[in-house]
A and B are shown apart, each in its own frame.
Chain A
Amino acid sequence: SYDLTQPPSVSVSPGQTATITCSGHKLEDMFVCWYQQKAGQSPELVVYQDTKRPLGIPERFSGSNSGNTATLTISGTQAMDEADYYCQAWDSSTVIFGGGTTLTVL
């Protein structure tokens, strides 16, 4: 089975750049998306097709995917960005989620 690996936690200071990685074998061959889940809420799509933002998602959220690693970057991180983040890909008609990364804004 295909696995996506994320760091369990990332910390960032307000205003700085947060980087969350998602690793998988030849991940660049798949489209990756990212979800934000705040405490007690449903997940929300923040990046799809590696780099695209849904309507209403701030420009500070960006994505990339190269080699074996996809990356979610949050520029100028705000306190409201504190949440769990999940990467997700689709392989052989199966949806795979990463284990999730807790972003703490200190």
Chain B
Amino acid sequence: QVQLQESGPGLVKPSETLSLTCTVSDGSITTYHWSWVRQPPGKGLEWIAHIFHSGITNYNPSLRSRATISLDTSRSQISLELKSVTAADTAVYYCARRHFGSGFSLDVWGRGTTVTVSS
């Protein structure tokens, strides 16, 4: 079973850029499509962005201007950058794999990485 491992800085200052990576354990990064999802403390899930293995991207309209998702196939990593962060960006950030087939569902999730935005 593939494993996804998110990594990030833990603490980011307001107005700075948050950079996260997700490492795919089995090299299937060029076979599947991938998303980032976040969850603020005590709140629900929020989709951030999605990238097809072709490199085509989709973004949450509310985050489109600040977020960039990308693939590094040589390292089997999916990256997320979020610019100009504020306290509202404090959350657990998950990467997840899109399930094959019709519709859109995420069938494999990482354990998540906690990001706190604070000075």
Contacts and interface: CB of A to CB of B under 8 A. Distances in A.
Given A54-B107, A94-B61, A45 B47 contact: no
A105 interface: no
Interface of A: 1, 30-33, 35, 37, 42-45, 48-50, 54, 84, 86, 88-90, 93-100
Interface in B79-111: 94, 96, 99, 101-107, 109-111
B9 to A, nearest CB: 20
What range describes how many residues of B lie at the interface? 20 to 34
A42 B111 contact: yes
Contacts of A96: 47
A93 B64 CA distance: 13
Given A43-B109, A94-B61, A95-B35, A33 B103 contact: yes
B35 A49 contact: no
B96 to A, nearest CB: 8
B102 A86 contact: no
A31 to B, nearest CB: 3
B11 interface: no
Interface string B26-49: 000000000101000000111100
Contacts of B35: 95
B73 interface: no
Contact of B99 (A45, A86, A100): A45
Nearest to B110: A42
Contacts of B46: 97
Contact of A45 (B58, B107, B110): B107
Which has the most chain B C-beta neighbours within 10 Å: A44, A54, A94?
A: A94
Contact of A49 (B58, B60, B105, B106): B105
29 contacts: A31-B103, A32-B103, A33-B106, A35-B106, A37-B45, A42-B94, A42-B109, A42-B110, A43-B94, A43-B106, A43-B109, A44-B109, A45-B99, A48-B99, A48-B103, A48-B107, A54-B99, A86-B45, A88-B45, A88-B104, A88-B106, A89-B104, A90-B104, A93-B58, A94-B47, A96-B47, A97-B37, A100-B44, A100-B45
